[in-house]
Every structure is written in C-alpha cells, then in structure tokens.
Amino acid sequence: MGPDMLVVFIGPPGAGKGTQSANLVSYLEIVHLSTGELLRASIDAGTRLGGIARAYINRGQLVPDAIMVDLIATRLSNPDCQPGCLLDGFPRTLPQARALDQMLAEQDRQLDVVLALHVPRDELERRLISRSGEEGRADDSPETIIHRLEIYERQTAPLIEYYRRRSKLSDIDGIGTMEEVFDRIKQAVDAAR
C-alpha cells in the first residue's frame, strides 16, 4: 500500500472520468468515492436521499450543495478513507470546494493533487450521444446531455482555476486511447506523491 493520497478528479461528462477513476484507484490502492455512484445507489435502495436526488439527476441538474457536502463529510470521515481516497464527482461547485477545504483543514489533511481531464466540447457531445442508449442512464437523453455539459462549464469548470491558484492542479489531456490517457494520469499522481 502506498502513502496516504487524496486525489480530486474533475472532468466534464463524457471525458472518460469513470473509466480512468477505476484505473487510478486500483493503481493507488485507495478508496473510490464517486458521488454519482453513491447517489445512484441511494436511488436504487429507495432511501430518502435517493428520492430527493432522483429528480435533480434525471433533469441533468446538480443536487443541492448542502446535501452533497453532508454526504461527503460522512464518507470522508469513514475509516476506510483514512489511507486515502479518490474523490470522483465532488467537488462540483465552488461552495463544495470551499466546504471540502474546511473539512480537510479540520482533519488536518490536505489534497495531494487535483486532476483536470480536458476534452473539447464537440468531442464530448459526440461521445455522449453514442453512449446514450448503450448504458440506459436516465440522464443521457440528448437534451439532458447538452444541459449537463452547460452546467459543467458554468458551475464546475471554475474549480480548475480555483485549484490552479492553490498550486494543486494537474491538467490531463483526455484525447487518445484509454492507455495513453491513463499513462498521463499516472505521471501526474507519481509526481504528486
């Protein structure tokens, strides 16, 4: 097992973040915290959180910050995250990023690196439209896809500059084969260890 690592992974829908997150957690042997997966599991389990989240997710909207911050605070303080974890899909807004900073400061922990996966918008639209139907996700209709991309640009992309100013950011070119992109990710996390 490697040293503690706290990694944040930012990327637009369709950039391949899910696949690369799976590669990265097995490479680093850390816990994978995917907020999208946590929310989908809550929906499937029929919990109160799932009931609230479903309406937002199906419209391609973000779940309110307060709910997401609570969810992550609970998971981050879980002992399984102490050796390290990959935050995939959180933070997604500036208020979430500030809440995360505060949470980590209280636990005397720090982010090691924030990976920002970059794929041009026209390529994302192409990939998402061809993926829709294959996976049968309720948030993959063409209108919802465009909406999710717009929300990403408006609400999540500003995090890139937020973390760049704090010298945490590593830009990853997301164009290429899965292996090529993963090689870039490995180099970035190895440099941060």
Tokens 């164009």: give the residue.
Answer: 175
Would you please indicate which residues are annotated as catalytic (active-site) residues? 17, 92, 131, 137, 148
Q: E strands of the chain, at which residues?
A: 5-10, 31-34, 84-88, 113-118, 169-173
At residue 153's C-alpha, the angle toward residues 149 and 154, to 5°, is 115
Interaction between residue 182 and ligand AMP (CB under 6 A): no
Dihedral of alpha carbons 140, 91, 89, 112, sign: positive
String marking each residue 32-71 x if it binds ligand AMP according to CB under 6 A: ---xx--x----------------xx--xxxx----x---
Choose one: 4-12, 87-95, 111-119, 182-190; the region binding ligand AMP (CB under 6 A): 87-95
Q: Is the CB of residue 112 less than 8 Å from the CB of residue 118? A: no
Nearer to ligand AMP, 49 or 192 (CB): 49
In the bound complex, what is the minimum distance in angstroms from residue 46's beta carbon to ligand AMP? Answer: 17
Q: Is 135 helix (H, G, I), strand (E, B) or coil?
A: coil
Interaction between residue 13 and ligand AMP (CB under 6 A): yes
* Positions in the binding site for ligand AMP (CB under 6 A): 13, 35-36, 39, 56-57, 60-63, 68, 89-90, 92, 96, 139, 148
